[in-house]
Structure 1
């Protein structure tokens, strides 16, 4: 039998060991979180010969092939555009989102089949560094994107200008003025109510509402997308056509059609606007790449068109056909992820996404047709919220601020100029239903 002294010593040892283990686990957790959300704290990316302020064009692009994706490399080699290098800066996400990630660390897991996830409530589901030996690493990165902080809990792009251009002649064929609205029903960390909006009878995760403002022939065309919390359930989508004055449900295949005659399909929105279960995901590696991140207020802005009453100016475009945003590019940590449609009738054979490791936005995507040839290339410029509209400062949202979708086979592009606003008053829950579409259209 143990004596009282032996019991006391034994208890003390156990308490010490337990405390030590808890301390070690807490340290390990902090390391994971810091590495995921603050990748530039300990090391600034660099590449031989690359310096802030330099211009990469036809004359010197060969030495930077390793840090430029293949599609954009071709554009520079062709003399269609160039890159101005900006300073690598941290795009810190909101502390509440980081905190939610910390609180759920180790509690989230994948289900048996693609599209199933367990234990997620809010934050980044898989902040651990991807493992090349993990066959489902790409899927985990896809979930990090889906449950990312892109536009926060809700936001609006109001207004949003799309321009259709002939890339060879530079002719501006069409300009469409939209408002886009985004709302998360679950995983909310800042805007009340948190962590979710109730009641939520359809068990939605997210909704997107789009309204066309101009020109007259498509004015008041509206799009509504409901994404279920259960990824295995198909999205419900509706389209309101102003000239018909009626709402119709979109068939599944229509999300891969050209949206309003543009170079984008609905599935392209934000880099990828579909279900995790619609794709097979493969992690292809981690690398440093030049990515379209910048401070909006420091860029060359469009002073000739689209200036709002408050003085806000959108990003200017230049290059071949006016298809390239006039911005700076940062050398950043990137996860390369390939997505292959599970549906053989899909118009694409694959997409290659270049996910930003800090924000989990998708600023660069290259799409390939069914024959495996490069078809389209998507750039989404990311603006720091603290150097943008005053209302965006401190939100921790990496602001989608410019886009260029180039159809390399058709020599055509669609460009986007944004006024992104992280403002819950612009995207209220009552906007995201079919009744609102009818009321707005009448």
Structure 2
């Protein structure tokens, strides 16, 4: 038996470096335990396994308090970029620059600033983008803006959006409609003949948004032109109650869209002007992402689907085919998640009076596709969770998507954690179709707004 002085000497020796090493070891063991493997199912009982594999606010608001948590962990998949985009990156390497106003100059096609491993390889490391570059954040934001997205653009022949209150307990509106976006310039898929849908076009892309239901919104339409020269967007809206077409000011892009928690800037996690925001790179990290959903939800459950138009409106029961929770919006029930190398960009709006002081956005490094985001209010408090669920084009049930080599969206969601209001969009029949310049001229025309509104 040890006497008091002996015990004291032993404890003194034990408590210095050895005790510290023991505590560090226990801490590291705890961190090591917070990991997942393909085949794991994450529920409320073992949710600690994903702590650190999702953004902290996502864990705090969407995982930790949620009793019905059910996340399926699957193998990390490879999503190779399209050969045409690789060709363009090599052909136009080291030409793009960012001026003092943050606008992109001398860009033609491909990845503007070689950041992805494949891009650095095909450009022989001649102009690798690295964190040492003082413009690293904004250059990475431009890379995201001009990531490979399948070439022609996106066609949503049928989308649905829900408006919810009380943490998803009350769905007070389900809207349905059509949407299309067409890229006019910087088109790698059109090489080697051209990179523009129309010669010398000043348009980067155009989009058309048409609401079919509910009755009070039916006939509401938006037409938007995004330009390549840094000019502010031209945006028009047809409002049935006013029976006229009106312009939307650029500052209204941060306003609520049709009574939802979304702003026009929130789509694709960020769809505003890159040059009108400050960008900070906050590092790379392996996170869980719902990159390739295996679920078939709305509107594919309606049966026959046209690639260019809505066939019929869906019912409320069809809308609820797949469960999204918590908040009636988040993909934490039955979705498939894989570990993905991601990078974080912090978006700081320059606009005075913007509702966000900043937005943390996590992008998939391999594809540059958006994953999750957290927006903060002007006081710096967590404000909104924004997310997306993807589908790999080669696994898509839509034939038009095969051979596009891109992650397509199937769902978007947003949650106001301060009010618990939320919105969720479903459009799992998204496709990538090629439209001619003649058809695009007719489709993206302000006079069409008036004709469609009659």
**Structure 2-normalised TM-score?**
0.80
Among 268, 285, 288, the residue aligned to 2:286:
288
Asked if 1:163 corresponds to 2:171, the answer is: no
Partner Cα distance (1:308, 1:213) in 2:
19
Asked if 1:197 corresponds to 2:197, the answer is: yes
Partner Cα distance (1:206, 1:267) in 2:
15
| Cα drift, residue 332 of structure 1 | 0.6
Asked if 1:95 corresponds to 2:83, the answer is: yes
Structure 1 partner of 2:63: 76
Distance 1:143 1:278, change over 3 A: same
Partner Cα distance (1:371, 1:311) in 2:
46
Partner Cα distance (2:266, 2:105) in 1:
26
Asked if 1:128 corresponds to 2:115, the answer is: yes
| Cα drift, residue 288 of structure 1 | 0.8
Structure 2 partner of 1:434: 446
| Cα drift, residue 270 of structure 1 | 1.2
Asked if 1:342 corresponds to 2:350, the answer is: yes
**Structure 1-normalised TM-score?**
0.82
| Cα drift, residue 82 of structure 1 | 4.1
Partner Cα distance (1:118, 1:425) in 2:
27
Among 221, 233, 252, the residue aligned to 1:254:
252
Among 311, 316, 328, the residue aligned to 2:322:
316
Mapping 1:252-401, distance limit 5 Å = 252-295=250-293, 298-299=294-295, 301=297, 307-310=302-305, 316-325=322-331, 326-388=334-396, 389-401=398-410
Q: Any idea what the Cα deviations from partners look like across 1:103-122, whole Å, max 9, x if unmatched?
A: 1222222223312x232111
Contact kept, 8 Å, 2:168 with 2:422, in 1: the verdict is: no
Aligned-partner SS, 1:155: strand
Contact kept, 8 Å, 1:292 with 1:379, in 2: the verdict is: no
| Cα drift, residue 337 of structure 1 | 0.4
Structure 2 partner of 1:67: 53
| Cα drift, residue 142 of structure 1 | 0.6
Q: Any idea what the Cα deviations from partners look like across 1:236-271, whole Å, max 9, x if unmatched?
A: 111111232211000222211111111101111111
Distance 1:439 1:336, change over 3 A: same
Partner Cα distance (1:311, 1:114) in 2:
41
Structure 2 partner of 1:182: 181
Partner Cα distance (2:198, 2:342) in 1:
36
Aligned-partner SS, 1:317: coil
Q: Any idea what the Cα deviations from partners look like across 1:175-209, whole Å, max 9, x if unmatched?
A: 111211111110112269841022556x1111111
Structure 2 partner of 1:34: none
Contact kept, 8 Å, 2:33 with 2:49, in 1: the verdict is: no
Contact kept, 8 Å, 2:167 with 2:422, in 1: the verdict is: no
Unaligned runs of 5+ in 2: 1-31, 117-128, 308-317
Unaligned runs of 5+ in 1: 1-45
Partner Cα distance (2:269, 2:35) in 1:
30
Distance 1:361 1:169, change over 3 A: closer
Partner Cα distance (2:328, 2:255) in 1:
24
Partner Cα distance (2:166, 2:292) in 1:
25
Q: How large is the RMSD of aligned CA atoms in angstroms?
A: 2.5
Among 417, 432, 441, the residue aligned to 2:426:
417
| Cα drift, residue 66 of structure 1 | 2.3
Distance 1:411 1:65, change over 3 A: same
Distance 1:395 1:252, change over 3 A: same
Among 39, 42, 55, the residue aligned to 1:56:
42
Aligned-partner SS, 2:447: helix
Contact kept, 8 Å, 1:154 with 1:182, in 2: the verdict is: yes
Partner Cα distance (2:220, 2:388) in 1:
24
Contact kept, 8 Å, 1:122 with 1:187, in 2: the verdict is: yes
Partner Cα distance (1:169, 1:204) in 2:
39
Partner Cα distance (1:169, 1:97) in 2:
41
Partner Cα distance (1:280, 1:302) in 2:
36
Q: Any idea what the Cα deviations from partners look like across 1:70-127, whole Å, max 9, x if unmatched?
A: 1221111111644221211112232111211121222222223312x23211111112
Structure 2 partner of 1:239: 237
Aligned-partner SS, 1:367: strand
Partner Cα distance (2:131, 2:189) in 1:
34
| Cα drift, residue 410 of structure 1 | 1.0
Asked if 1:108 corresponds to 2:96, the answer is: yes
Contact kept, 8 Å, 1:155 with 1:424, in 2: the verdict is: no
Partner Cα distance (2:150, 2:244) in 1:
30
How many corresponding residue pairs? 391
Distance 1:286 1:47, change over 3 A: farther
